[in-house]
């Protein structure tokens, strides 16, 4: 299989996966478009401070160019108030605004949850709204994809989101990249007795939207209007890395276009050589005729 065939099938599979996911989700909610922010695992506004953590995916900060790295491993590119970070911030805030306009399918009035609350038992895809702040202590929230593995979960929190030992578990094919937490104020996630695994994209887009995570792990994105502070945590930017893979397909398309242009140029050059040869042959015949 040549490079062109490999490229064709790779992009065909990627497009088919996107179309399938989009058609499956159409019957439920629609995921917000993250646009230029989709390749970022971490994005902050006033500052990003990382200590003893592992970040997989791009990291950005804008408009304040403050990125503090203390013994952190960053498996991606750091964008400090460059055009990429500026574009990503605008796209993130636009996605947050679109989530605010999404109508609620269920409103959850209880502000504090301790241990596994039956009322929050396995949740199917939907838009779940907390009018005020939400606090979870040693709580496991299960998102159930049995009705639609490609479904979308949107959690709208009116004020702050706090979690101590708070875990989000995906069941029956549910995907963390399809989970969005739109938080109106700050987000604080800490570890108690068990290092928690939080899954989903956190969009703290309110005016005071900061994110502080200590311990545990996150599968998704961490996007904040204000500061991001990470200590002893792992941010698995699976969603961001997948987006970079789709972008690579576009790059391959450009490379293929350039390769085709080079091939055309080579063909034209060969044609010119053939014309020159014909001219030389014609000239030789004329000289022979003249000599006779």
Residue with tokens 């995906």: 170
How many other C-beta atoms are found inside a 10 Å radius of the C-beta of residue 258?
A: 10
Closest among 210, 223, 287 to 38, alpha carbons compared: 223
Question: Which residues, in sequence order, are CB contacts of 67 under 8 Å at separation 6+?
Answer: 47, 48, 50, 59, 61, 78, 80
185-189, 196-200, 221-225: least confidently modelled range: 196-200
- pLDDT band of residue 292 (cuts 50, 70, 90) is very low
φ, ψ of residue 111 in degrees (nearest 5): -90, -25
Q: Are 126 and 105 in contact (CB under 8 A)?
A: yes
> What is the pTM for the complete model shown?
0.75
User: 256 pLDDT band (50/70/90 cuts)?
Assistant: very low
The DSSP letter of residue 115 is S
Q: With a cut of 50, say whether residue 43 has pLDDT above it.
A: yes
pLDDT of residue 112: 80
Q: 238-291 and 3-25 are packed helices; what angle lies between their axes, rounded to 10 degrees?
A: 140
Are residues 62 and 42 in contact, defined by beta-carbon separation less than 8 angstroms? no
Taking 90 as the threshold, does the pLDDT of residue 7 lie above it?
Answer: no
Q: What is the pLDDT of residues 89-145, one digit of tens each?
A: 999 999 999 999 999 999 988 778 887 665 577 999 999 999 999 999 988 899 999
pLDDT in tens, 140-172: 899 999 999 999 999 999 999 999 999 999 999
**DSSP assignment string, 245-256:** HHHHHHHHHHHH
Confidence at residue 265, expressed as pLDDT on a 0 to 100 scale: 45
Pairwise pLDDT comparison (174 vs 269), residue with the higher score:
174
Distance (Å, rounded) from C-alpha 161 to C-alpha 234? 19
Q: Which of 23-27, 238-242, 259-263 has the highest mean pLDDT?
A: 238-242
Preceding omega of 63 cis (within 30 degrees of 0): yes
pLDDT, residue 245, reads: 62
Q: What are phi and psi of 172, to 5 degrees?
A: 55, 45
For 150, the token pair is: 């490609």
Strand ranges, E, within 111-216: 112-114, 126-130, 134-137, 140-144, 153-157, 161-164, 167-171, 179-183, 187-190, 197-199, 201-204, 211-214
H/E stretch holding 55 reads strand 54-56
Query: Mind listing the pLDDT tens digit for each residue in 55-88?
Result: 999 999 999 999 999 999 999 999 999 999 999 9
CA 23, CA 31: separation in Å to the nearest integer? 12
Q: What is the DSSP letter of 123?
A: B
The set of residues, in sequence order, having a beta carbon less than 8 Å from that of 92 and lying 6+ positions away, is: 34, 37, 40, 43, 203, 205, 223
Return d(Cα 228, Cα 24) in angstroms, integer.
Answer: 33
pLDDT at 73: 97
Distance CA 130, CA 161 (A): 10
Higher pLDDT among residues 30 and 119, named by residue: 30
| 284 has pLDDT over 80 | no
- What per-residue confidence (pLDDT) applies to 116? 66
> pLDDT at residue 263 above 60?
no
**17: confidence class by pLDDT, cuts 50, 70, 90:** very low
Across the range 28-50, mean pLDDT stands at: 93
Can you tell me the mean pLDDT for 192-204?
85
In percent, the amount of the chain with pLDDT more than 70 equals 72
């Amino acid at each position: 299989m040549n490079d062109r065939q490999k490229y064709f099938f790779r992009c065909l599979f990627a497009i088919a996966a996107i179309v399938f996911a989009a058609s499956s989700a159409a019957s439920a909610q629609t995921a917000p478009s993250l646009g230029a922010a989709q390749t970022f695992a971490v994005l902050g506004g006033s500052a990003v401070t990382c200590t003893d953590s592992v970040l997989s995916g791009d990291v950005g900060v804008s408009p304040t160019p403050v990125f503090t790295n203390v013994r952190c491993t960053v498996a991606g590119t750091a964008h400090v108030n460059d055009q990429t970070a500026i574009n990503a911030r605008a796209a993130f805030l636009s996605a947050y605004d679109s989530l605010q306009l999404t109508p609620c399918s269920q409103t959850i009035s209880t502000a504090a949850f301790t241990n596994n609350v039956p009322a929050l038992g396995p949740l199917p895809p939907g838009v779940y709204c907390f009018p005020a702040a939400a606090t979870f202590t040693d709580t496991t929230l299960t998102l159930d994809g049995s009705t639609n593995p490609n479904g979308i979960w949107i959690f709208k929190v009116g004020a702050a989101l706090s979690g101590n030992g708070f875990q989000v578990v995906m069941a029956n094919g549910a995907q963390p990249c399809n989970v969005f937490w739109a938080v109106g104020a700050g987000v604080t996630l800490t570890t108690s007795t068990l290092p928690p695994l939080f899954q989903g994209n956190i969009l703290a887009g309110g005016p005071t939207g900061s994110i502080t995570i200590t311990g545990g792990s996150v599968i998704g994105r961490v996007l904040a209007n204000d500061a991001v502070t990470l200590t002893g945590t792992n941010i698995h930017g699976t969603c961001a890395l997948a987006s970079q893979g789709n972008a690579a397909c576009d790059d391959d398309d450009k490379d293929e276009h350039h390769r085709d242009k080079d091939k055309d140029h080579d063909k034209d050059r060969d044609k010119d050589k053939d014309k020159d040869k014909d001219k030389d042959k014609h000239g030789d015949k004329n000289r022979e005729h003249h000599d006779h």
